[in-house]
Chain A
Amino acid sequence: QQQVKQSPQSLIVQKGGIPIINCAYENTAFDYFPWYQQFPGKGPALLIAIRPDVSEKKEGRFTISFNKSAKQFSLHIMDSQPGDSATYFCAATAAGNKLTFGGGTRVLVKP
């Protein structure tokens, strides 16, 4: 019940395309859902986050869509650039405690 399932494992898009990464959870106590971006050899960097009382949040080219009834959320990267090539992790927490991470999606944006 603590798991967060993330798909796909990897994604290749052309520059300007819109990679979409999906996550699903079971634990209804989760109340905060961040996305992290990780480059090789670096720590996860917080990208954007959402709470379940909001269905969508945009920050720059990154958008989270949230479906509370389906217990699913997704990340869209608009107008993707080669510099967006990284591994993206969704995560979830209840009351700001430990983060439970999804398995990660390796995104490659081709020039």
Chain B
Amino acid sequence: EPEVTQTPSHQVTQMGQEVILRCVPISNHLYFYWYRQILGQKVEFLVSFYNNEISEKSEIFDDQFSVERPDGSNFTLKIRSTKLEDSAMYFCASNNRGQTYEQYFGPGTRLTVT
């Protein structure tokens, strides 16, 4: 069964450093998302991406964040200068909206900013 994969599973970084979180969405999906979940809290939408551009972003997704689809399979989230409050689980999701609204989530990357 196809699945969304994410790397790394855990990233530890120092405040102010840049991090890149990577995702490989399900191969025939066209819509990609990033969500985050601060420990013990609900899952929050960050950004959606379609046809090589951002289709929607939340207020969390400020200028420190960017997304990219550098090739035909990867989808990345970059945080330019990490803050302590960026510590969270980051989930990538994908769907094929034309056929179904189901979004499938990856296992997540735990980002710890020290």
Contacts and interface: CB of A to CB of B under 8 A. Distances in A.
Interface of A: 32, 34, 36, 41-46, 49, 89, 91, 93, 95-104
Nearest to A93: B101
Contact of B91 (A43, A93, A102): A43
A91 B42 CA distance: 10
Given A43-B91, A43-B105, A98 B33 contact: yes
Interface of B: 4, 31, 33, 35, 41-45, 48, 55-56, 58, 91, 93, 95, 97, 100-108, 110
Given A42-B107, A43-B91, A44-B91, A99 B45 contact: yes
25 contacts: A34-B103, A41-B110, A43-B91, A43-B108, A46-B102, A46-B103, A46-B104, A46-B105, A49-B101, A49-B102, A89-B43, A93-B103, A95-B97, A96-B95, A96-B101, A97-B48, A98-B33, A98-B48, A98-B56, A98-B58, A99-B33, A99-B43, A101-B44, A102-B42, A104-B41
A96 B104 CA distance: 12
Given A42-B108, A43-B107, A97 B56 contact: yes
A34 B48 CA distance: 18
Contacts of B48: 97-98
A103 to B, nearest CB: 5
Contact of A45 (B31, B58, B105): B105
Pick the most buried of A44, A49, A103: most chain B CB atoms within 10 A of its CB: A44
Contacts of A41: 108, 110
A98 B61 CA distance: 13
Contacts of B42: 89, 101-104
Contact of A100 (B45, B91, B104, B106): B45
A55 B44 CA distance: 27
A32 B91 contact: no
